[in-house]
Amino acid sequence: MHRALYPGTFDPITLGHLDILNKAAHMFDEVILAVADYTGKDSNFNLEERLNLCNEATNGMPNVKVMSFSGLVVDFAQKMECNTMIRGLRAVSDFEYELSLALTNKKLKPQIETIFLVPSLKYMYLSSSMVRQLADLKAPLTDFVPPPVIRFYEQKIYPKA
């Protein structure tokens, strides 16, 4: 079985993430959407919320499994018997950061390869940070995130009075 790991914080999961995930799901027998416990930044969502939203968003993807991890992603990849890691690239600015991550991971676990996938053109600009800012300003989110994330924002973050 060819299994890949698609790690990230997914705070929140976006349509761009799902686009990359869908591409990976067509390339591999199984893809593990690995939700990082540690985000290294201010989060809108705790780990349980991010896991629930990712599970709901991937509900129709039979070869995708959502799991959380803590610690080094390469250790989790090895534990899950994944020799391939998926990363998304939107712009040249992403490449420098993602390349340094891939090289660091390669140094730590040489047997794990990183594959970079590019989202569809309509998602090239999209990021979780942008979604969080839009949500803070109560902007419409339909073009940016899947319905479970929209529902979460409507119910938990800015409920209607």
Q: Which residues are catalytic?
A: 17, 41, 90, 128
C-alpha 72: how far from chain center: 16
- How distant, in Å, are the alpha carbons of 42, 87, 90 from that of 19? 25, 12, 12
Q: Are 84 and 45 in contact (CB under 8 A)?
A: no
- Asked if the peptide bond before residue 148 counts as cis, ω within 30 degrees of 0, the response is no
Q: Are 77 and 67 in contact (CB under 8 A)?
A: no
Q: Which of 61, 55, 49 is nearest to 152 (CA)?
A: 49
Q: Are 90 and 12 in contact (CB under 8 A)?
A: no
